[in-house]
Chains A and B, each alone.
Chain A
Amino acid sequence: MDYIQGLNEENETASERIGEALKEARDAETIEKKLLSLSTAMHLLIDPSLSISILDNFLTEMLEFAELNDSRILCLLVDFLLKASAKDFTLCNKTVERYSFYLIPNKSIKRYESVIKRVVVASTNLYPIVLEFAIMDKNDNAESCWDAFNLLKNRICMLVSDDHEGVRTVTVKFLEALILCQSPKPRELATGSNISWAREANTRFNRISLSDVPRSHRFLSYHKTQLEAEENFSALLKQTTVAEATSQNLITVIESLCMITRCRPQWENALPRVFDVIKALHSNVPPMLSKGQVKFLRKSFKYNLLRFLKLPASVPLQQKITTMLTNYLGASPREVQQSIPPELIQKIAPPRPPQHPAEPVAKRPKIQNQIFEDDDDDDDEAGPSTSTVNAKDARTEAIDMTAKFIMECLNHETVMNLVKISLYTLPSEMPAAFASSYTPIANAGTEPNRQELSELMAVQMTNKEIGPGYEWLQQQRKKEYEARNKARSEGMAIAQTPIHEPNMSNRVPAQIVKQSLQEINTLPVIQKAKKAFNLVEEAVVFDDKEAAEMFELAYESVLQAERRVVAGGARLMYQKLVVRLTTRFWEDCTPFEEKLIEFVLADHKKRNDLALLWLCELYAQYQGYSNCALFMKEMIAGQEGLTQAQRLDRYDQAMCKMLDAMLERNMEKEALFYKVLLETPLLTPNAIERLKQVCLAKENEHGMAMLRELIMTRNRQRPQLLQFLFGLFFMERPELRSSCLEVVKELCYLPFIRSSLSDQARMQIHDCLQESPPMYMRSSEDSDQWTDEMYKNSLAVYSTLMPSDPLLLIPLASVYAQSTNVFKRVVLRSLEPVFRQLSQEMVISLIEDCPYGAETLVARLVVLLTERITPSTDLIQKLKILHDERKMDIRALLPIIGGLEREEVVRLIPTFIFRAEYQKSVNVLFRKLYTVRDPQTGNLVFDPIEVIKEYHKIEPKNDNEAELLVNNLEFLFDPALLKPDTASQAIEAVFKWENVPFLFLHSLYTLFHKFKTFESFVANLFYKVTEKKMYQQSDRWKQAFFKCIKELKTKAYPAVITFLSFEEYEELKEVLGDGIVAEFKIIYSTLATQQQKNMDEKIKEELHDKERENRERDKRLRREEKKEKEREKERTRESGKERSSRR
């Protein structure tokens, strides 16, 4: 606690001191005093022991001093922000924002270039901090900071060609830091091992590098970062070729390149490339340098090359570097030897004297092997390179090509001629570099000397744009220019390539210039003497064609200026200018619109905003918000101009042109196509037709996705878009219909969309009431008649929405009530799966509000509902009310029959039995009666025995009704529903009635057929009926009796022949046919003697058959004869056996 209190006290003291310093700074009268106080406050705030919260508290107060508009105070604040960011990473965002602001030139502040320079220097130091922050802290704050810093980086890279000398110098150092931080660190340096050449790579930018960036980083792209470094490295190399380069810039570039080489010797072949640059510069020193500047340039070359010799990567180039140092830069062999580390010297064997020819041959393979081994090591150390960089720089290759050409041309004659020409063209004053060059006489004319001379001349010829190498270089440069633009468009920060390449051909001797000036001076005098200048006569008025042509050229120029404008930060202004030029100056803007479309599509990813702005401008003109110059002109002339409808048409055509252009190029999946449809103010029907093409394509996922987005976002046009979506259902393509259904299902989950979908669905089914189908429902122009398929497709969406939207049921019923029978059938058939999902509450609500004419729909719904659940009391009551009010078909009561009273059911049964149209429902009726159960008790509501009894109580009024009663017995005695015991009990109960109905006999044979186990039971009951003479009650009884005999056959015959009178017997034979007598005879023979005694005598006589007795007797005799014959055969066999035994 004491320690914490002490810490708090210390912070409070520091806060007081900081507050006092800031107060002094505000009260000070001079800038110097303010600077002194602010410096004190700054040092206090960035003290490591001070808490970060205090720094945050005073940060804003410190930055307020920027309002003084003094360059020195701004420089102090720039340094303060840098140190504060180093202390607290989270301040990097604010620092980067401030730096970007301070980079804007401010002429109102004196010596403001010092502020810009300070910002660049601070940004150089800030870069590793920001990169470390981005790597360590992967949150949104770090990402936004990195994005902001990339913008700052882009702006700083542009300063490499600034007018101010100091700004260019510090910008080169910034590029050095960028390249070092964004390139992979060599393995030796990364591992931190103690290597001899690590001292040569000692720089503060080794703190962090590309090697520290993980490959899977969220927003730092390894590939892009390295590629950016490579491009900037190449740009830095090219800075050395600028003819107008100052001494300071040249030296700074050289030093930066050498630093990069020492830190990254293998990366991008840095060492060979930089060595070639040094060699080229040495051969072609810029002519404007003074003697001292040239001398130091050579000192710099010597100094850096000696340091290069300490690098292992320099081993393959040691000989070349040594030659350069000793022959041209004045280094002594001792200096060279001292610079080469001992371990590197051992890798090279010294050359042998020529008198020992065998030894060099023996040494060469060893040297080659060493080089090969070094190459392997180099590959490991260099790290991956993402670009295919040539082994040499393009310019160096061009020089080599020209050098080879010169080498082939050099001979004694050519050299002599060159010497003669040189004597005539010697300058009056020798250049400073001349005195530094020296060629020993002994080396003159040798092969190396000729090679060096060729290279020297090749460098100069390339600078003057002469030679085969330069022609090749132009082609390479063109390709590289395109690649750089592509990389820059992808957001990379790349320094500008020098605009002015060396162009020595433009330089002419001073004398010639003087002569030219003299000649020029004489011309005006002559002209003045001849004719006086007259502005009116000299001015030429453009004709319309020329004016139009100039406008077109200006328009093209504006379009092509996009890159420069964007680099200047005026993108929005540029877009506005282009759009206004395109839309406001001509009656017919078609040519410019087409050019604009082509321009946008050429780089559509970057020009989406331009296209949208153009369409918005046209929409604004259509609405009258935007003033059109042409319109004003027409108003002045008294013309009406374009009407609003015409302006809308213009907007429509422009949008469709853009979409058509993209469709032609198969760009419907690009972002621009999506944005034109989604983000333009109004989506016209013609534009929707373009979307239709995408939706009808084979791969229509993208089109359907766009349609879904449009429906979700365009609220005002949602009904139209939904109609378009629903119209796709009527295309004769099943896969398209499936896609549409998927879209509808997705949209159903959105509450704010579901209501629109329901509205559109209701409108669609309402359209089904029209006499002919609407256009959007027709798959072809010729189909003007309703078909089942059309009805089915129009209900597809409804079937998707109804399960989750109960409100859709009532509208469907309304349309159903008014529709044709064909539509009704389609509804009942196609929507049945949906109807099965409806809840009881939905059905009840429909019953309550049932439209007139939709009763059949209600009936169907109730049937489907009751198939899976038990109807509630409420449903039963409301359906009964509806049935009574609307006089509905009684079949509608079948589903709720369990809720009806017993008396009601008793009254219903005859109705079902006697009405022809209800015959098909009788089965359902009895099934319901036998199976319906009370939902509370679980018991059967109706007793099947009672049902059967009630059925037998029905009295037919005529023969037709009697026949119907008999026919429906089949359903009354359904074995699947009735138990045998139940049936037998019921029929016995009916038999015990005093007045047994004639239907009883029909029931008997029905039971006989339905229940196989009832044979004896039925026969017994029939015997009793016959015995009691019940068939004598009426003709229906007699007919039923005869029918029963016919159905029961042998089961009924004993009773018939026993108890019938002869007259009845004869009547029966007439009904059944004469064939029945034979069957009776068979039965007669089986009767007992007692039963035969009770028979009528005449019947007995008829059935007693003498011939039959005779036949039986004959049969008996024949059987006896057979037996005797068999006995004789046996005897014969026995005697035969005896004879054989004797023999």
Chain B
Amino acid sequence: MEYSSKLRFAVSCSSNMNRSMEAHGILKKRGFNIESYGSGNQVKMPGPTVDKPNCYEFGPTTYEDIYADLTNKDLHLYTQNGLLHMVDRNRRIKSRPQRFQAETREFDIVLCLEERVFDQVVDFLNRSVGKSGNPVHVINIDIEDNAEEATFGAFFVADLCEKLERSEDFEEDIDQIITDLEENNPKRNLLHTICFY
């Protein structure tokens, strides 16, 4: 895997639940080498009210556990607002939510779906002691955290990944690719930097 000819992609949102998993699903179907993560301290999901979210820990919690917990709490509410469907989709993609800061594998490109997530990822990478010294490109694409925007955003992410994958040398072309996308999508708040493991 480490020496695969494909680019190694990672996509991250805050809780590894909605936006990142949507993108993960679409990219996986299209054959990309993709993983997804969350950069927040906890997995947060809407609760009965706005000020009472459902929170879970990264690591030991699986999507099965979340699904069971939501079912036990209020099957009707969570079915109606689509959370159970979302969690059900997630458990078919992978077993559990993952935190980006806890990951030891290396990637070529990390896609962040919110500027706050971008800041967290960049801060983490810059503060790490470092092991291999390999470069990693961190790109920010703002996507609103709702189901519809997640779907649209996922296609945008897929489009970007497609261009990068087809590139003969993505390091040479990544600046131009991002600049072109920025001109066509000014609201996406495209940011790009390079960090090192």
Residues of chain A touching chain B, judged by Cβ–Cβ distance below 8 Å, are 32, 35, 39, 72-73, 75-76, 111, 113, 121, 124-125, 164-166, 169-170, 173, 199, 202-204, 246-248, 251-252, 255, 290-293, 295-296, 299-300, 303
**Contact assessment for B191 and A295 in the assembled complex, using a CB-CB cutoff below 8 Å:** yes
The residue that B172 contacts in the complex, of A165, A293, A303, with Cβ under 8 A, is A165
**Contact assessment for A169 and B194 in the assembled complex, using a CB-CB cutoff below 8 Å:** yes
Q: Given A35-B3, A75-B3, A165-B172, A121–B194 Cβ distance below 8 Å?
A: no
* Sample of 8 further A-B pairs with CB below 8 A, known A32-B4, A202-B127: A165-B172, A166-B171, A170-B135, A204-B131, A290-B178, A290-B182, A292-B191, A303-B123
**Contact assessment for B129 and A251 in the assembled complex, using a CB-CB cutoff below 8 Å:** no
Q: What residues of B have a CB within 8 angstroms of the CB of A111 in the complex?
A: 169
Q: Given A170-B135, A291-B182, A248–B129 Cβ distance below 8 Å?
A: no
Q: What residues of A have a CB within 8 angstroms of the CB of B174 in the complex?
A: 248
Q: Given A72-B5, A248-B175, A255-B126, A292–B135 Cβ distance below 8 Å?
A: no
* Inter-chain contact total with CB atoms closer than 8 Å: 82
Provide the B152-171 mask, 1 if CB < 8 A to any CB of A, else 0.
Answer: 00000000000000000101
Per the bound structure, the CA–CA distance linking A111 and B169 in Å amounts to 8
Nearest Cβ distance between residue A1048 and chain B, in whole angstroms? 123
Q: Given A164-B172, A165-B171, A303-B123, A124–B133 Cβ distance below 8 Å?
A: yes
Q: Which residue of A lies closest to B134 (CB)?
A: A121
Per the bound structure, the CA–CA distance linking A165 and B177 in Å amounts to 14
Nearest Cβ distance between residue A83 and chain B, in whole angstroms? 10
**Contact assessment for B129 and A202 in the assembled complex, using a CB-CB cutoff below 8 Å:** yes
**Contact assessment for A246 and B182 in the assembled complex, using a CB-CB cutoff below 8 Å:** no
Q: Given A170-B135, A202-B129, A203-B129, A252–B194 Cβ distance below 8 Å?
A: yes
Per the bound structure, the CA–CA distance linking A72 and B1 in Å amounts to 11
Task: Let me know if B2 is at the binding interface, CB within 8 A.
Answer: yes
**Contact assessment for A296 and B193 in the assembled complex, using a CB-CB cutoff below 8 Å:** yes
**Contact assessment for B3 and A72 in the assembled complex, using a CB-CB cutoff below 8 Å:** yes
Q: What residues of B have a CB within 8 angstroms of the CB of A248 in the complex?
A: 171, 174-175, 194
Per the bound structure, the CA–CA distance linking A67 and B100 in Å amounts to 38
The residue that B135 contacts in the complex, of A72, A169, A300, with Cβ under 8 A, is A169
**Contact assessment for A39 and B190 in the assembled complex, using a CB-CB cutoff below 8 Å:** no
Number of contact residues on B: which range applies? 20 to 34
Per the bound structure, the CA–CA distance linking A292 and B171 in Å amounts to 17
Q: What residues of B have a CB within 8 angstroms of the CB of A173 in the complex?
A: 133, 135, 196
Per the bound structure, the CA–CA distance linking A293 and B134 in Å amounts to 22
Residue contacts A-B, CB under 8 angstroms, 18 given: A32-B4, A39-B2, A111-B169, A121-B132, A166-B171, A170-B135, A202-B127, A247-B192, A248-B175, A251-B194, A290-B182, A291-B182, A292-B189, A292-B190, A293-B179, A293-B192, A296-B191, A299-B191
Per the bound structure, the CA–CA distance linking A1077 and B195 in Å amounts to 143
Q: Which residue of A lies closest to B171 (CB)?
A: A166
Nearest Cβ distance between residue B104 and chain A, in whole angstroms? 15
Task: Let me know if B31 is at the binding interface, CB within 8 A.
Answer: no
Q: What residues of B have a CB within 8 angstroms of the CB of A125 in the complex?
A: 132-133
Q: What residues of B have a CB within 8 angstroms of the CB of A199 in the complex?
A: 127
Per the bound structure, the CA–CA distance linking A72 and B195 in Å amounts to 22
**Contact assessment for B3 and A76 in the assembled complex, using a CB-CB cutoff below 8 Å:** yes
Nearest Cβ distance between residue A1054 and chain B, in whole angstroms? 131
Per the bound structure, the CA–CA distance linking A165 and B132 in Å amounts to 19
Task: Let me know if B60 is at the binding interface, CB within 8 A.
Answer: no
Per the bound structure, the CA–CA distance linking A251 and B2 in Å amounts to 26
Per the bound structure, the CA–CA distance linking A821 and B185 in Å amounts to 118
**Contact assessment for B171 and A169 in the assembled complex, using a CB-CB cutoff below 8 Å:** yes
Q: What residues of B have a CB within 8 angstroms of the CB of A252 in the complex?
A: 194
Per the bound structure, the CA–CA distance linking A75 and B2 in Å amounts to 10
Nearest Cβ distance between residue A98 and chain B, in whole angstroms? 17
In B126-159, the 8 Å CB interface with A consists of: 126-127, 129-135
**Contact assessment for B133 and A113 in the assembled complex, using a CB-CB cutoff below 8 Å:** no
**Contact assessment for B182 and A121 in the assembled complex, using a CB-CB cutoff below 8 Å:** no
Residues of chain B touching chain A, judged by Cβ–Cβ distance below 8 Å, are 2-5, 119, 122-123, 126-127, 129-135, 169, 171-172, 174-175, 178-179, 182, 186, 189-196
Per the bound structure, the CA–CA distance linking A291 and B179 in Å amounts to 9
Q: What residues of A have a CB within 8 angstroms of the CB of B122 in the complex?
A: 303
Q: What residues of B have a CB within 8 angstroms of the CB of A300 in the complex?
A: 193
Nearest Cβ distance between residue A120 and chain B, in whole angstroms? 9
Per the bound structure, the CA–CA distance linking A35 and B1 in Å amounts to 9
**Contact assessment for A290 and B123 in the assembled complex, using a CB-CB cutoff below 8 Å:** no
**Contact assessment for A204 and B129 in the assembled complex, using a CB-CB cutoff below 8 Å:** yes
Q: What residues of B have a CB within 8 angstroms of the CB of A113 in the complex?
A: 169
The residue that A39 contacts in the complex, of B3, B119, B182, with Cβ under 8 A, is B3
What are the 7 tightest A-B residue pairs by CB atom distance, in nearest-first order? A166-B171, A292-B190, A72-B3, A296-B191, A290-B179, A165-B171, A121-B133
Max chain B C-beta neighbours (<10 A), residue from A125, A170, A173, A290: A290
Q: What residues of A have a CB within 8 angstroms of the CB of B186 in the complex?
A: 291
Per the bound structure, the CA–CA distance linking A1050 and B179 in Å amounts to 148
Per the bound structure, the CA–CA distance linking A292 and B2 in Å amounts to 31
Nearest Cβ distance between residue A258 and chain B, in whole angstroms? 9
Q: What residues of B have a CB within 8 angstroms of the CB of A124 in the complex?
A: 133
Per the bound structure, the CA–CA distance linking A75 and B3 in Å amounts to 8
Per the bound structure, the CA–CA distance linking A125 and B196 in Å amounts to 12
Q: What residues of B have a CB within 8 angstroms of the CB of A202 in the complex?
A: 127, 129
Nearest Cβ distance between residue A742 and chain B, in whole angstroms? 61
Q: Which residue of A lies closest to B178 (CB)?
A: A292
Q: Which residue of A lies closest to B137 (CB)?
A: A248
Q: What residues of A have a CB within 8 angstroms of the CB of B135 in the complex?
A: 121, 166, 169-170, 173
Per the bound structure, the CA–CA distance linking A296 and B191 in Å amounts to 6
Max chain A C-beta neighbours (<10 A), residue from B119, B178, B179: B179
Nearest Cβ distance between residue B193 and chain A, in whole angstroms? 5
Nearest Cβ distance between residue B170 and chain A, in whole angstroms? 9
The residue that B175 contacts in the complex, of A204, A247, A299, with Cβ under 8 A, is A247
The residue that A203 contacts in the complex, of B3, B130, B169, B175, with Cβ under 8 A, is B130
The residue that A292 contacts in the complex, of B126, B129, B169, B192, with Cβ under 8 A, is B192
Nearest Cβ distance between residue A300 and chain B, in whole angstroms? 7
Q: What residues of B have a CB within 8 angstroms of the CB of A299 in the complex?
A: 119, 191
Per the bound structure, the CA–CA distance linking A124 and B196 in Å amounts to 12
Per the bound structure, the CA–CA distance linking A173 and B135 in Å amounts to 9
Q: What residues of A have a CB within 8 angstroms of the CB of B127 in the complex?
A: 199, 202
Nearest Cβ distance between residue A1091 and chain B, in whole angstroms? 138
Q: What residues of A have a CB within 8 angstroms of the CB of B196 in the complex?
A: 173
Nearest Cβ distance between residue A631 and chain B, in whole angstroms? 53
Q: What residues of B have a CB within 8 angstroms of the CB of A303 in the complex?
A: 122-123, 126
Nearest Cβ distance between residue A173 and chain B, in whole angstroms? 6
Q: Which residue of A lies closest to B190 (CB)?
A: A292
Q: What residues of B have a CB within 8 angstroms of the CB of A35 in the complex?
A: 3
Q: Which residue of B lies closest to A34 (CB)?
A: B3
The residue that A251 contacts in the complex, of B4, B123, B193, with Cβ under 8 A, is B193
Q: What residues of B have a CB within 8 angstroms of the CB of A291 in the complex?
A: 182, 186
Q: What residues of A have a CB within 8 angstroms of the CB of B133 in the complex?
A: 121, 124-125, 170, 173
Nearest Cβ distance between residue B109 and chain A, in whole angstroms? 13
Nearest Cβ distance between residue A440 and chain B, in whole angstroms? 25
Per the bound structure, the CA–CA distance linking A303 and B122 in Å amounts to 10
Per the bound structure, the CA–CA distance linking A370 and B129 in Å amounts to 34
**Contact assessment for B130 and A204 in the assembled complex, using a CB-CB cutoff below 8 Å:** yes
Q: Which residue of B lies closest to A200 (CB)?
A: B127
Max chain B C-beta neighbours (<10 A), residue from A32, A166, A300: A166
Nearest Cβ distance between residue B133 and chain A, in whole angstroms? 5
Per the bound structure, the CA–CA distance linking A844 and B186 in Å amounts to 115
Per the bound structure, the CA–CA distance linking A166 and B129 in Å amounts to 21
Q: What residues of A have a CB within 8 angstroms of the CB of B172 in the complex?
A: 164-166
Per the bound structure, the CA–CA distance linking A855 and B196 in Å amounts to 97
Nearest Cβ distance between residue A436 and chain B, in whole angstroms? 14
Q: What residues of B have a CB within 8 angstroms of the CB of A170 in the complex?
A: 133, 135
Q: What residues of B have a CB within 8 angstroms of the CB of A251 in the complex?
A: 193-194
Q: What residues of B have a CB within 8 angstroms of the CB of A293 in the complex?
A: 175, 179, 192
Per the bound structure, the CA–CA distance linking A204 and B178 in Å amounts to 32
Nearest Cβ distance between residue A200 and chain B, in whole angstroms? 9
Nearest Cβ distance between residue A162 and chain B, in whole angstroms? 12
Q: What residues of A have a CB within 8 angstroms of the CB of B126 in the complex?
A: 255, 303
